[in-house]
Structure 1
Amino acid sequence: MYEQNTPPDESAVQRQDAIDINDFVFAATGARVRRLTLPDGTHWFPAVDVATDLGYANTRDALRHAVSQKHTTSLGDLARTVDPVDGSCKIAGHRLKKHMKMVNLLGLVQLVNGCTKPEAEPFKNWVSEVIVTVQRDGSYSLEPAPVQPAPGGGTAYVMPQQVADAIVRLEERNVRADEMLLAFQEERGELLREISRSQGVIAAALQQIATALDRPAVGQRPAARAESTPQELLAAWKAKNLVVTEDIHAVAAYLAPALLRGGAQYRLEEIAARTGLAQARVHDCVRMLLKRGCMRQQGCTPEGAPVYVLP
C-alpha cells in the first residue's frame, strides 16, 4: 500500500495539486513512497522510505545533513494533529509507527537534491531550471492542460516535460526489470512443470503397484478452476508492476470488465467522462497499457471507436 490518507475534513479547504503527487514523488525518487495527507492537503512521507529509495545508508544522518529541521517531524506529532484523541490508533492501522520520522514535500526535495543516484538527475535538473526561471522572470508556472476536467474539478495542468520524461524512463526501467523477472518465472515454471511430470510418472507407478496388490490408491482431487474476474485481472497487472499510477489504475479498472468479455470499444472522451480524468491524461494511460502489453488494439468499430482486446 503506497498511499496512506487520513479521513477527509469537510471543514478544511480542498486543494488540488498542480502535479499529481504520486507522479511527482515517483519522478523525484524513482519509487512508490507511502504517503500521509493531512486534511489541509499537505503531504508527509516516512523518512526511512525516501532515504532508502534514494540510496542513503543511514536515515538519521541523511535527515541531519540534508533536511532542515522545520521540514521533518515525528509521526506521533502528526497523529495528534490529525485527531487529538485517537489519531495514533488510526495511523497505526496504516502500518506506520508512532516513532517514525516524517518529512514534508520540501524535506523530500531536499533529500533528493542531496542524493547521488543517476536516476535523480533529471528531477534535480528540473528543480534547478525552476529556480533559474524564477530568478530571471520572477515566477514559474505550468501550462494549463488543453482538456480541462468537469466544472468544479479544479484546473488541470500539463506536466513539465522533464518530469514526464523522468517518469517514462523510470517506468521503462521497471518494464525491463519486469521482463527479467518474467523470464526467471518462466524458467522456474518450466522446472516446476518438469517436477510435476516426474511426480505424475511416480504416481502412475504407485497406482500400478497398488492395483497389483489390490489396495486402493489415494487419489488426487483436481484443483478447482476459478473464473477470471476484473479484480483478478487488475491484481495480476498490479503484481507485475504494469499499473503504476492511480490514473492508469482507474482507466484499467474501467476497461477490465469489457476486456474479459471479449473486447472494449470506448472512445477516449467516454473513458474520460466515466473516470473523471482529463482526455489527454486518458490518452497517456491507454498508451501506457498498450505499451506494457496489458492489452492490444484490434481495429476500430464502424463508428471509429478503437477496439481493445487482451493480448
Structure 2
Amino acid sequence: MDAIDIDDFVRAAAGGALRRLTAVDGAHWFPLVDVARRLGYAGPREALRTVTLPVWCLAPARELAPDAEILARSGIRGTARMVSLAGLVQLVTACRSPEAGPFRAWVGELVAEVQRHGGYGLEPAPAHGGFVLPPELVDVLVRLEGRFDEEEADLAEYAELLRETRRSLSRVADSLERSFAVPRQRGAGGAPTLSAQELVESWEISGDMRAVASFLAPALIRGGVRCRPQDVTRRTGLSGDRVRDCVRLLIERGCMREVGHPRPDGTRIYVLP
C-alpha cells in the first residue's frame, strides 16, 4: 500500500496526470515520452541528455507487464520505454519549469529532514471517525448487492450503485489508514509477522495504555507513526497529559521508541524497537 496516493504524488511532481503501469512488486512506471512532454523537454532524448538516469530507472513496458491485457488496458505499447518513480523525480528536479518549483523545494526539505533526523514522516491528514463505517453495515451492503443481482434487470443500476459504495468505503478506509502512517524505509525488513491486535496483546497492557497502543499499533507494524498528542487525544478521548504519560510508559517498557526530535508543533515519530 502506498503511503501517498500515487496519482496525487504525480500531479504534485509533474503538474498533471501521467499514464502508468504498476508492476507486480507494486513499483510504479511511466512512459518516458509522456514524462518528457509533461515536463517541457523537447522529447525523451533531450530528457535523457539532461539527466543521466541509472539503468534500473528505465525498462521496456513488456518487461514490467508481460500480460498483454494489462498493457492494452493501460494504452501503453509493449515497446514503450518506461521510467520508474525514482527516475521521474530526477527528471522533475532537473527541469526548469516554474510549476515544478514547489516540488523541488519539498524534495530539498525531505533530504534535509533525513540527514538531520534519519527519517521523514508524513503530516497526519485531517480525519474524522464518522467516515469509517462499521463492518456490520458493509455486510448489509454485500447482502443487498446479492439480492439485487437476483432480481429483474431494472434493478441493475442500484446493484452497481452498491458496488461503487463498497469501493468508495474501501478507498476511504485505506486513505484514513495511510493518513497516520510513516512510510517504511527501504531495507527496514520484511512484512510484519504480527497483526496490530496481536502486537498490542503481546505487550500485556490494559486501560488507557491499551487505548493509546491500539491507536498507534496499525501504523507501527507498517514502519512507524508520526503524530501529535492531540491526534491521539482526538481519537481516544483521553487528556493530553494522560496520552503523554501512556506514551512514556510504552517507551519505557520497550514497546516502541522515538525517532529524531519533536517538531515545533509537538509532532513525534515512533517506531517499533
Report which of the two structures shows the higher radius of gyration computed on alpha carbons: 1
TM-score by length of 1: 0.41
TM-score by length of 2: 0.47
